[in-house]
Structure 1
Amino acid sequence: MGEFRPISVHHALGGGPVADTLLWRKCYGGVMLLIGSTVMWVLFERAGYNFLSFVANSLLLLVVILFFWVKSASLLNRPLPPIPDLDISEESVLIAADEIRVWVNRALATVHEIAVDGNLRTLVLVAFGLWMVSCIGSLFNFLTLVYIGVLLSLSVPLLYDTFQPQIDEKLIVVHKNMSVVLKIVDLILQNIPMAQKKQKKTE
């Protein structure tokens, strides 16, 4: 077992604007994300506002504002609205497709381990994960889960970055205990197919 080597949280998050936002190094981005997600959650979850109506009304307001802006600009010799050229590059599409392909291949490999190889350990882990998701989903709806995810993403990385040495000590202990538990589970699961084969031979 290798030694636990702490790494920079900022580097682990990619070291870009997203990392700066999650670690509150750019307070503007974190505040805007927090306010925006809170407003959305209050509108759709508490006020009962319909998501489709909200999108349609927002687009309608934007189109009307842009239309009158262009008309007034041509009459008053003012500059046109600063709208950039909205174009998705082929490179960005290929990067997104490659990332999606990686996740799809992982999912297919997991299915192959369960359905073809008969890996009982993978089946137990997947079943436990899906059961946990089902339990959490029964407590909250999807929008609330997304909002909780935003709150956690704005708080957990910052807390870990602040108290990394203390948290790493606890994680090392948890990692050692989990390794022992997984070894015991592997031994149990490896003996189950052998018992089944012995029963088939006696039949």
Structure 2
Amino acid sequence: SVGKRLKSALIWVVASAVVCGLVLGILYALIGKVDFTVRHLSSSVQAFPNPNQFGAFTSGQPCIAPLTRQCSANTAPPNSQTTWTMRATFPEYVVALATIVGSVLFTIFGGVGIACLPLSLIFSFVRRPKAVITRSQYIKEATELGKKAKELKKAAEALHQEERSGNKGRKWRKNVKAVEKELLLLENDMNALEEMYPQGEKAEATWAFTVLAYIGKLIFGIVG
């Protein structure tokens, strides 16, 4: 029923939120700190000099005596540098963590996608339909796809019946994924069949555009 589905969805949402909150909280307690590298600079003071006294400051002596080098970050001694450790706020920590994780994942999946796209276009050209099939072949293939669609419909109805009865174990989820995969393959087969047998008054033009589209995929795959 709808109530059971809402209850199940709410349980999954709450459980996911609790798990994510625990993970973020533990990580925040362990690594939720920020290190700042700072340098301590100091200088003596004296009365404001007249304009002629500015010539006494050089790159080797940028500060007022006796601290001749401790007011410049370029010439300050190494012991003037230290590290401050501060606890970041939780929103800042979440934003920083999301930025880092998102950048890493984008680099990985973006790189894989950029590398796979040209290969996918080239393989699409290789597996293209070579010629238009006859009407009898189209009817035969369409009949086979229709039978397969009926079988998948029965399997989907059986899974839906199991879902209503509350039998949603690992086997049920595995069968659902298998049916979804078969539906995707069936859709691809139907699209391929429509390409191999264009219909309508402009069937020849449709086939010509199909051929040009695959040639374009090959060109973009090679150039990319």
Q: TM-score, normalised by structure 1?
A: 0.30
Name the structure where strand makes up a greater proportion of residues. 2
Q: TM-score, normalised by structure 2?
A: 0.28
Name the structure where helix makes up a greater proportion of residues. 1
Q: Which has the higher relative contact order, 1 or 2, with Cα contacts under 8 A spaced 6 or more apart?
A: 1
